[in-house]
């Protein structure tokens, strides 16, 4: 189970500070919402946590079962779903899942057939991902996240492109596959993070915490 400690973390692009002076201890199974207005830095914060962008200042410590994980190993323990993350569109669904799970272990041994059923994509098994609707792609992105055996899930606008049924499905996914994992949700839609017990709000370069 993964723990994250940030001490005095900060991010700046050129001369613009996005956030500063952040201390955070995310414990295993914590569910944390990141909120803030458009352009406040929610996605940037998730990218820093994922190691896609580096923090400008501060210390980051990741540990698994009390054992420290080096920065270049962190990616093995996390999954991210975000609007800016591309799917390999030339694959069919079955090819993509086969490829992905060559590298990641399935969560609790779940089989590809079961994943496809849970994502309600049975009719698209041999369809190229480039021909998926935006909602189908979003279910696939979230499925790849939740069905990979990683301790940290980073979800950026998780229900974008999902209809009402899809949004309810997302809640069920969190409930069925997210209980024993640390989850961060970057969002401005309360429906996406109602299960979160901690809130970080980014405004004016400051991050405010509340429960
Ligand atoms: N690579 C970059 N270089 C320079 N500035 C950047 C870069 N990435 C993001 N920014 C800036 O950082 C700020 C925060 O952007 P970010 O996408 O994190 O906001 P957000 O809160 O996720 O917004 P939204 O709710 O609109 O998705 C914005 O002013 C953005 O222009």
Per-residue model confidence as pLDDT tens digits over 123-136? 999 999 999 999 99
- Residue pair 156/34 in contact (Cβ under 8 Å)? The answer is no
More confident residue, 140 or 210: 140
Q: Whose CA is nearest to atom 16 of ligand 1?
A: 41
pLDDT exceeds 80 at position 3: yes
pLDDT exceeds 90 at position 25: yes
Shortest-distance atom of ligand 1 to CA 45: 18
The whole-number pLDDT of residue 204 equals 65
Strand bridging mode 31-35 / 182-186: parallel
How far is it, in rounded angstroms, from Cα 61 to Cα 20?
A: 17
Query: Is there an atom of ligand 1 within 6 Å of 35 CB?
Result: no
- Residue pair 45/196 in contact (Cβ under 8 Å)? The answer is no
Query: Is there an atom of ligand 1 within 6 Å of 38 CB?
Result: yes
- Residue pair 41/85 in contact (Cβ under 8 Å)? The answer is no
pLDDT exceeds 90 at position 115: yes
Query: Is there an atom of ligand 1 within 6 Å of 187 CB?
Result: no
Residue among 12, 14, 17, 42 whose CB has most ligand 1 atoms within 8 A, to mutate: 42
Strand bridging mode 16-26 / 206-210: unpaired
**ipTM, 2 dp:** 0.96
Please give the distance, rounded to the nearest whole angstrom, from the Cα atom of residue 44 to the centre of ligand 1: 6
């Amino acid at each position: 189970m993964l723990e994250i400690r940030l001490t005095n973390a900060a991010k700046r692009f050129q001369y613009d500070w996005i956030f500063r002076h952040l201390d955070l201890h995310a414990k295993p199974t914590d569910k944390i919402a990141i909120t803030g207005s458009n352009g406040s830095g929610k996605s940037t914060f998730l990218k820093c946590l994922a190691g896609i962008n580096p923090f400008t200042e501060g210390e980051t410590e990741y540990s698994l079962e009390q054992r420290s994980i080096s920065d270049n190993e962190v990616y093995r323990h996390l999954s991210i779903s975000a609007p800016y993350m591309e799917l390999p569109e030339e694959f069919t669904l079955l090819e993509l899942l086969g490829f992905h799970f060559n590298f990641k272990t399935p969560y609790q041994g779940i089989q590809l057939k079961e994943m496809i059923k849970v994502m309600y994509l049975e009719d698209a098994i041999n369809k190229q991902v480039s021909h998926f609707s935006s909602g189908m792609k979003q279910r696939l992105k979230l499925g790849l996240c939740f069905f990979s055996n990683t301790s940290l899930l980073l979800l950026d606008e998780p229900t974008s492109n999902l209809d009402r049924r899809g949004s309810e499905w997302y809640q069920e996914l969190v409930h069925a596959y997210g209980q024993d994992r640390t989850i961060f949700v970057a969002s401005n839609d309360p429906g996406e993070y109602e299960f979160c017990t901690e809130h970080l709000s980014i405004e004016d370069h400051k991050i405010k915490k509340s429960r």
